Chains A and B, each alone.
Chain A
Amino acid sequence: MSKDIRIKKGLNINLVGAAEKVTSKAVLSNVYAINLEDFHGITPKMLVKQGAEVKAGEALFYNKNIEDMLFVSPVSGELVEIERGERRRILTLKILADKTQAYVEHPKLDLDAASAKEIKAHLQKSGCWPFIQQRPYSVIADPNTTPKAIFVSGFTTAPLAADLDYVLQGKEAELQAAISALAKLTPGKVHVSIAGAGNSPLAGLNGIELHKVSGPHPAGLVGTQINKIAPINKGELVWTISPQDLVIIGELLLSGKFNAERTIALAGSSVKEPKYYTTKIGTEVSTFLYGSGVNGENFRVINGDVLTGSKSSQDGYLGYYNNTVTAIPEGDDYDFFGWNKPIFNKISSTRALTFSWLMPKKKFDLNTNTNGEHRAFVVTGQYEQVFPLDIYPMQLLKACMVKDLDEMEQLGLYEVAPEDFSLTEFVCISKQPHQQIIREGLDLLQQEIG
């Protein structure tokens, strides 16, 4: 059964450099890295020492608060470096990969007979648990809880993001296995959303509630879909997971191996031949970036899409959750009278001598310039045009800024993740850091109430 959802508010950001639907195999990386910042709110406790040999899928560290939650190595090799920051906080773990990969073999699970408890234990032990995110707070799910429902967004509307219909081709068996397992973890439904038009491998799965969603970005964000399907109330819990991570879970369940392989999109105007690559979590970005060639030297490599990704570098590593790597030019240059001349080459949500509204189909080459300075909130009504959730965005942001817990709760902070505010951040005339404000608000709320 499918239910159609139409998103009206939003903005599609069309950029040049979309990945061509051709997949190459990336060169094998020498060193793989796990960036601890990918796991928000997790305090790691190391299980192996520097110099230790690990297998692919072998645990590197666990979550200090939930000791059964293991985090595993994507490859087999030697843990060559534990990079630490202030107060010896672990930043990055680097593994020098073996020539021949050895995997930890997990026992296969009989999905039909397994209880929820067994599935949870299996996913935690194998290192697949961190793929499951929870709302409220937008952090890795607590395995001791039971969500009212699980949401999977089966398509993306974010600029230049990997096309899930394409990268999930032929993965139906894995997806089905993962969905069947996850369905046992909730008394509610597993909601899967796919694009209104398209050919998603997710459409044919059993045991799901299928939703067809159409409309501009952020229609593809799971937060938008949750808000339209069944908004989160105080005290409720939902889990979200991305389809590509379902594939890894599915493969684990079917074959007993943690296979960190995934197909990623390399995109952006700084890439000469943007296309898809099969590679592994934690791989060096340079193993595929230079395969496609780059334009110029002054560009930014982003782990993820341009709206929600994290800043990486040319010698950085593929993030734990990312299936897109974007390279766009840095915008660290001045623009003479940039504030009053007509603008044709940038995207704007207004028509104040900005002309992107005339060219809805045009693909733009945007850089990382802020196009103006940080200011207090001034203009109103602008966020609402691109924010489809039934929430007052500016009022919620202000509640987070003044740390008013009651207001944050009442205005709907439980329902959102930072990424839901990526588009309001994009259009913001005052150049406020919306996602950071929401992240800090969520952290505070979790610390005080959660």
Chain B
Amino acid sequence: METINFVYNLIPDQFIAIIVICTIPLIFLIVYALLAILGELKISAWIQERLGPMRTGPWGILQPIAEVVKLIQKEDLTPDTANKPLFNLAPFIIFMGAYASFAVIPFSRYFIPSDINIGLFYIFAVGSIAVIGIVMGGWASNNKYSLLGAMRSVAQIISYEIPGAMAILSVAVLASSLNLEKINIAQEGGIWNWFVFGGQGSWDKLWVVPFTLILSLIYLISSLAETNRTPFDIPEGESELVAGYHTEYSGMKFAMFFFAEYANMFVVAAVLTITFFGGWNSPFGNFMQGPGWDVFWFVGKSFFFVIVQIWLRWTLPRLRVDQLMYVGWKVLLPFSFICFLFISLFRMIN
């Protein structure tokens, strides 16, 4: 929190100070998105035995910038029969959902833009705003593919939020808090104290380790569904629905969808890091632990999970929409409930 107070002290006008603090995650997000686009291009290339982009800049590192420039130059089309206000608003609402989550994401113990006591709940709440944007975009496009994609997307995101929320709720039970800072502090002291291994505690916690392991996996799977990534990229499955809900979008509005998808990938990776993988804590106890290292560990772990998402995307085929629902309601949900129940019992007994 010190950084925030420092900024408040430095800039006497509170309004400007808030804007400065809001801008920091945005700048981070832009840099991250460029890196992630390059990562996606390069990792997919390595998986597929290609070179990937090599011409723009040394080793192709300027490719993301070239892509952004290309998207800016493109004509910003709005279909004649589209509902224009909704059509134009949709990409920004989707992006807003992803960006708003950054208000509570703790990059370091010194940088938590807004340290509210229901951080986890808040992330889930604003994350769901994306659904509204998708429905708006899909319906307003006046295109059957967009509509089908939007309908699928709503069903998918809403059903996968429940197992994801159950997984996160178990962490809240273990940490006795919804505050992201307290959840981070509860995992201090090395890799063995992370919630994926049951959090801090004596050997008793071995009872919950299997459940927390399963829950971290459940959250990873449902987060893939929430970000519409393969194997759950059914709303925009290009082989069926051309591009799903963003079929009619071009130019910068399409770029906003793209940006929001990458931002969402980071958000779910960050939540997974915070809740199960120690957040800003070093895996070696007090070694490499401190405010500066916080950023390194947090961003490093989150990037790792972003890479996992990219890796899965280029490896797995896509599920069908009814199979997706089956996995969500009949596999993940009961498992997450059972795990949640056992963890709650464990907390009650201890």
Judge: A and B partners, yes or no: no
- Chain B interface residues (CB < 8 Å from chain A): none
Q: Which A residues are closer than 8 A to B by beta carbons?
A: none
